[in-house]
Structure 1
Amino acid sequence: MNREIIATGRTVDEALDKAYEQMGISRDEAQFEILDLPKKGFLGLGSTPAKVRVYIEISKAQCAVDYLQSIFHQMGLENVQIDVTESENCANLTLNGEGLGVLIGRRGETLDALQYLAGLVANRMEGDYYRIVVDSGNYREKREKTLENLAKKLSSQVIRTGRSVTLEPMNPYERRVIHATIQGIEGVTSSSIGEEPSRRVVISSTNPPKKTYNRERSAEGGERSRGIRGGRSGRSGRGGYEKRQPREKYVPQDVTPNRTKVEVEDDSKPLYSKIEID
Structure 2
Amino acid sequence: MNEKRTNLEVIAPTVEEAIARGLADLGLPEEAVDIEILDTGTRGLFGLGTRQARVRLSIKLAARAKSSGMPVQPKIDYETAPVKDIESKQKAVEIGHGRVESKKEEHIEAATIIAADDAQPTELDDDSQAALETARQVVEDLVDKMQVHASVRAFYGEPDEPNQRKPLIVNIEGKDLSILIGPHAETLNALQYISGLIIGKQLGHSLPLVVDVEGYRQRRSREVRLLARRMAEQAVRTGRRQYLEPMPANERRLVHIELRDHDEVNTESIGEDPRRKVTIVPKQ
- The two structures have a TM-score, normalised by structure 2, of 0.47
Which has the higher relative contact order, 1 or 2, with Cα contacts under 8 A spaced 6 or more apart? 2
Name which one, 1 or 2, has greater alpha-carbon Rg.
Answer: 1
- The two structures have a TM-score, normalised by structure 1, of 0.48
